[in-house]
Amino acid sequence: MKRTSVSSLMAMVVGACCPPKASTTATTTPVATAPVKPDAPAAQVIGPMRDMADKREVHLKNVRQLTFGGDNAEAYWSFAGDQLILQSNRPPYSCDQIMTMPARYGAEAKLVSTGKGRTTCSYFLKGDKEIVYSSTHEKGDACPQPPDMSQGYVWGLFDYDIFKANADGSNIRRLTSEPGYDGEATVCAKDGSIIFTSTRNGDLDLYRMDADGKNVVQLTHAPGYDGGAFFSPDCSKIVWRASRPTGDALVDYQRLLKQNMVRPTKLELFVANADGTDTRQITYLGVAAFGPFFHPSGKRIVFSTNYPNPRGREFDIWAIGVDGSNLERITWADGFDGFPMFSPDGKTLAFSSNRRDVVPGPKMERTSEGSSAGQAGADGKPTELYRATGTLAGATDTNVFLAD
């Protein structure tokens, strides 16, 4: 059974528009609205860890769930390989905030962004003492208004800036101040430089800058959306997703861009040298391909796509050679599997998924006013509980998983 709509799946692809409000059926330990100490207590885990690998996922074992409730995505490793940084809209937040957590079963995430505005695309800086992420909090405390879908399915390009902070969220500093969209920042393991996407030149292009925000260099120049870039392990290469519209599609792209929107119907994968030279397209799938990340060998790339159905709801993790050869499907669970990232030692894969480890929960009764007395299971329908925590599971939750 597929549990997430096309629109909410695609919203998670980029983090560029407010997703649906996290299901209030998912009751987790409330997260503070200000950074808390790194030694915050772990969430109570009731049940033992369960391997949630599909029998067809022959490359994966010990698939274990780390988060329980809301939309949790883009979980990226620290350089030491002992922590993850991610974005989540779990209660009480109605749009994404940045959290960190130990990379182990039973650990709890803690807030490291401000709790205001909307955030996206976080990453540890080299040394793991600082983090970067994009946020709208300086523009206002509320979530930005989602784009008007009367023009079809589009993403909103909000007025994000990239910020740097200590790993606990303190000492926040702004790195970018150009009008428009600055987001999707990731970091080179060798020199700590940052690659990101910006509309500062009137198009969605890739840029590279030093860890202090200086020495900004534009890397891509072709019309279309260039975003979601990552460095290879030795930082000699980059991989990213891009659209290359032509004809009427280019006219539509440029029209929407002027309205701070983009239509993400077709995204392919590209690789290049780290300075943007020798650009090569490696997928020709005609669908949405995104979230690419290099295998530690540097010879293959994992990514997520709804191939072969461009309108399908099924997103899975696939692998492909850096030369575009040997396309292989990795995950098979129903719904969404995406944002794959190998740990620095190459032994563990972090990813986000709709897969669920749940047990039947109580039925919710209706109140005299005709509304549900609970937060799920209205009209006497049964609820589901996460087996590990005993907390209510939302129907469209996306959670973070690890696999060996």
- Which domains does the chain show, CATH number per domain? 6-43+70-313+320-329 (2.120.10.30)
Q: What is the mean pLDDT of residues 102-110?
A: 94
Which pLDDT value is given to residue 46? Answer: 57
Which pLDDT value is given to residue 45? Answer: 55
Which two tokens mark 367? 């109140």
Q: What is the mean pLDDT of residues 170-185?
A: 97
Least Cα distance to 184 among 158, 146, 165, 149 occurs for 158
What are the residues whose beta carbons fall under 8 Å from the beta carbon of 285, sequence distance 6 or more?
268, 305, 307, 308
| DSSP designation for 253 | H
Q: Element (H or E) spanning 13, and its range?
A: helix 6-14
CB 385 within 8 A of CB 14: no
Per-residue model confidence as pLDDT tens digits over 247-275: 999 999 999 999 999 988 799 999 999 99
**pLDDT higher than threshold 90 for residue 376:** no
* Band (149; pLDDT cuts 50, 70, 90): confident
CA distance 211 to 66: 30
Least Cα distance to 341 among 70, 85, 125, 128 occurs for 85
Average pLDDT, the chain: 87
Per-residue model confidence as pLDDT tens digits over 306-344: 999 877 789 999 999 999 999 999 999 999 999 999 999
* Cα three-residue angle 294-295-300, rounded to 5 degrees: 80
Long-range contacts of 92-96 (CB under 8 A, 24+ apart): 92/30, 92/31, 92/33, 93/22, 93/31, 94/18, 94/21, 94/22, 94/143, 95/18, 95/19, 95/143, 95/144, 96/15, 96/19, 96/71, 96/120
Least Cα distance to 159 among 191, 189, 199, 190 occurs for 199
Q: Give the whole-number percent of the chain exceeding pLDDT 90.
A: 76
Position of tokens 């955030």? 119
CB 204 within 8 A of CB 181: yes
What sign has the CA pseudo-torsion 92, 97, 102, 106? positive
Per-residue model confidence as pLDDT tens digits over 191-239: 999 999 999 999 999 999 999 999 999 999 999 999 999 999 999 999 9
Q: Of 16-30, 115-129, 147-161, give the range with the top mean pLDDT.
A: 115-129
Q: What is the mean pLDDT of residues 63-77?
A: 96
**pLDDT higher than threshold 80 for residue 379:** no
Position of tokens 């002027």? 258
378 φ, ψ to 5°? -60, 160
Which two tokens mark 246? 């032509």
> HSE (CB half, 13 Å, CA atoms) of 280?
12
**pLDDT higher than threshold 90 for residue 140:** yes
Which pLDDT value is given to residue 42? Answer: 41
Which pLDDT value is given to residue 380? Answer: 61
Which pLDDT value is given to residue 24? Answer: 32
